[in-house]
Chain A
Amino acid sequence: MDWTLIFIRAVEAGIGTEAVIYGLAAIGLNIHFGYTGLLNFGQAGFLAVGAYGVATTVATFGLPFWLGIAVGLAAAVLFALLLGIPTLRLRADYLAIVTIAAAEIVRLVVRSVALQDTFGGTDGLEAFSDDFYGMNIYAPGSYDIGPIGFDHRTMWVLTVGWVLVAIACTVVYLVMKSPWGRVLKAIREDEDAVRSLGKNVFSYKMQALVFGGVIGALAGFLFALSRAATQPDLFSTELTFFAYTVLILGGAARVLGPVLGAVVFWCLLILVKTGMEEAVNHQVITFITVNQVGSINYMLVGLGLILLLIYRPQGILGDKREIALDAR
């Protein structure tokens, strides 16, 4: 068994594209769930509208890249508004069902044969990321620190990604210290009390949904651009639940919770996955095949989510008193 390979893969995943994408998705989710107490089970939908916003604008209609980014952000805002109007007045479980349904609607629409000319069907879209890589500040080549290295394209994605993560964290930190952020937290604790103070709870919740959704769309951009392609089935409900696991692992309602969660989550996940693959390939474990390692990984994520919520719902950084898990 090649232990160096296993550890290199794990560290690369912990600082690599997956960690950045899921970190951003979880930062958005943190605004929804951690701070406002909105049980959004449709974060994958926000990533999908972001990714398809840029991909469709550039690849299908041949319009400029930056317009694509604007379209993706606008689509995320629109999606949040459409989602919020029927559900934000309702109880948490209704919101959960509707958001998960809405995310599935987005995925089914973009993968449909009827709209294949626009969204590319199950094969998705590609050839929209040239402008993004054209802005690359790294010369072609490999950039290594010791055994860990990325090529120039990944370096560019990671630079943009971590800068976005830093900006998002700073904004969340500033916003949550402001009176606006305190209203959000108050809504999480006791909605009726906030209402009795004369605040428009519906409007605040809607703003939170839009804010977190836009950050989700940023994650969607990175997801699409890092792969230079986008496929509908990347945005299945599993993505949302991975993001939840990331968020709860790191600690909900903490600025750096989602980021730490993403790093630890991907490090562990790839450590276990590569470890098992190596063990299977070297006949250390003989009763499973390499293909089955994938399903074991998902099982572990499910089990991890269960155990986290039972034994440590506040995650690594969180404060138990600040978790919106006991709302009605």
Chain B
Amino acid sequence: MRRAVIAFTAFLGALFILLASPAWAEGESLRGTLQNQGQPVNGVKISVTSGDGQPVGEATSDAEGKWEVPVPAAGSYKVTLDQATLPAGTVLKFKDRATLTVQVFEGNYRNVLFALASGDAAGGATEPDSGGSRSAFWTRVAQLAFEGLSLGLIIALGALGISLIFGTTGLTNFAHGELLTVGAFIAFVLNTTVGLHLLIATPLAVIIAAGFGYGQERFFWGPLRNRKTGLVSMMIISIGVAMFLRYLLLFLFGGENVPYEQYVAQDGIELGPIFTTPKSLIAMGIEIAVLIAVGLALTFTRLGKATRAVSDNPALAASSGINVDRIVRIVWAMGAAVAGLAGIMLGTTQILNFQMGQQILLLMFAGVTLGGLGTAFGALVGSLVVGMFVQISTIWIAPELKTVGALAVLILVLLVRPQGILGRRERIG
């Protein structure tokens, strides 16, 4: 065990030394990233004045939607977005919030958020007639359902690993979100530091992520289980692992959103009522293909059958000649690989920062619980439902509260059907 911990620490230490090269901004400044539906918005003018109206500076958002205005000292500043410079089809979500007053603290930068939305530049407030608004409503539902599917697929990739790991070892892994983040950042290093094209970096990163998962099980979780460490104990250990990995990534890469080199901004395309980008479609295609492949493998291959057998009853599986330890290691490698892929897809289509995995972890848990803890196919169905629900619920609730809705539903489902949609009825109390 001691050896295992040393090996694990040494591995992380090596990672740490290899990659230590981040740049942190010094001094006070105001900054932000302008995005509309996950796409950066370029060329928007932002001006900053001090509290008493003296102009401080101006900036224009770059190709990644980023802008930054350094300010001379801590204090209160007014930030104004020039609505005339917004590209056609993009408007401020709240018309009266073009000027924001924000506080900048000593030695800190302050992120300023302007919520953007797609809409009519002429004002957006003009309500079409009832027939028109009805079709507009369904267009919006279609758009949100599509975005929900896109989110649901990413959640499903992560949830699959959580569910299989839980099924085979009983561990509820709170560090699974970090497997997404680690995968995404391995691809980031291969993509930016090493300079590989994202299409080459992605499969390599997935393989490295699989190795990371395998190593975690081989040198950390496996030895812990052999020591007869309790499950509750391991759950809390997984939180320690999550915290360690998350802040290691913050240490290495800083706290801001970073982009991959390729596929940053793409022109949108329209498919019927749905507005999207080619990269989202390709990402969804890859995700669906991977999910189907994993599903088929679980159902038809010997390895898949063995995995399900271990998931069902480890002791019985072992006594019928299945090497349980080997299966568990394969499950970890596969779970980490799939999670890494999910992280890269999330990084390409939406955000890439050290918290991305943690932010999606609870949604993955919601998907897994909804589908039934420990059932792989339940996790798929549950995740898709959660993804759709999160996005479609924004019709009625504020977008910032969409996660709240999903989590509240998770709690309600536990009241009514604690075993989830596809879970077996068994005593879980």
* A interface residues (Cβ-Cβ under 8 A, vs B): 39, 41, 85-87, 89-94, 96-98, 100-102, 104-105, 108-109, 111-114, 123, 237-238, 241, 244, 248, 287-289, 291-292, 295-296, 298-299, 301-307, 309-310, 313, 324-328
Contacts and interface: CB of A to CB of B under 8 A. Distances in A.
Interface string B353-371: 0000010001001100100
Contact of B240 (A93, A296, A309): A309
A304 B247 CA distance: 14
B242 interface: yes
B407 interface: yes
Given A295-B251, A310-B1, A305 B414 contact: no
Interface in B381-421: 398, 400-401, 403-404, 407-408, 410-412, 414-415, 418
Contacts of B243: 238, 241, 298-299, 301-302, 305
B106 to A, nearest CB: 13
A86 B235 contact: no
A306 B237 CA distance: 5
B19 interface: no
B10 interface: no
Contacts of A326: 230-233
Contacts of A108: 400-401, 403-404
Contact of B236 (A90, A238, A248, A328): A248
Contacts of B241: 302, 306
Nearest to B25: A291
B321 interface: no
Contacts of B205: none
A19 B313 CA distance: 45
B401 A101 contact: no
Contact of B230 (A98, A304, A305, A325): A325
Contact of A302 (B24, B103, B247): B247
Interface of B: 1, 5, 9, 20, 22, 24, 103, 166, 172, 224, 227, 229-233, 235-237, 239-248, 250-251, 358, 362, 365-366, 369, 373, 398, 400-401, 403-404, 407-408, 410-412, 414-415, 418, 428-429
A123 B113 CA distance: 13
Most buried by A among B229, B243, B369, B412: B243
Contacts of B236: 244, 248, 305, 309, 325
A244 B239 contact: yes
A96 B408 CA distance: 15
Nearest to A106: B404
Most buried by B among A238, A244, A306, A325: A306
Contacts of A91: 428-429
Contact of B401 (A90, A96, A112, A241): A112
B240 A97 contact: no
A113 to B, nearest CB: 6
Contacts, number: 154
A93 B170 CA distance: 10
B237 A105 contact: no
Given A89-B429, A98-B411, A302 B232 contact: no
A310 B401 CA distance: 38
A91 B247 CA distance: 30
Nearest to B239: A241
Contacts of B172: 93, 96-97
Q: Secondary structure of the A side of the interface?
A: helix
Contacts of B22: 292
A248 B246 CA distance: 21
A326 B229 CA distance: 7
Most buried by B among A93, A108, A324: A93
A102 B411 contact: yes
A328 B231 CA distance: 7
A86 B231 CA distance: 22
B411 A310 contact: no
A221 B1 CA distance: 43
27 contacts: A86-B411, A86-B415, A90-B429, A93-B231, A94-B369, A94-B428, A98-B414, A100-B362, A101-B362, A102-B407, A104-B362, A105-B404, A112-B398, A114-B400, A292-B251, A298-B247, A301-B243, A302-B239, A302-B241, A309-B236, A310-B224, A310-B227, A313-B233, A324-B232, A325-B230, A325-B233, A326-B230
Nearest to B16: A299
A288 B229 CA distance: 36
A253 to B, nearest CB: 13
Given A39-B232, A91-B429, A309-B233, A295 B404 contact: no
Contacts of A101: 362, 365-366, 407, 410-411
Nearest to B233: A325
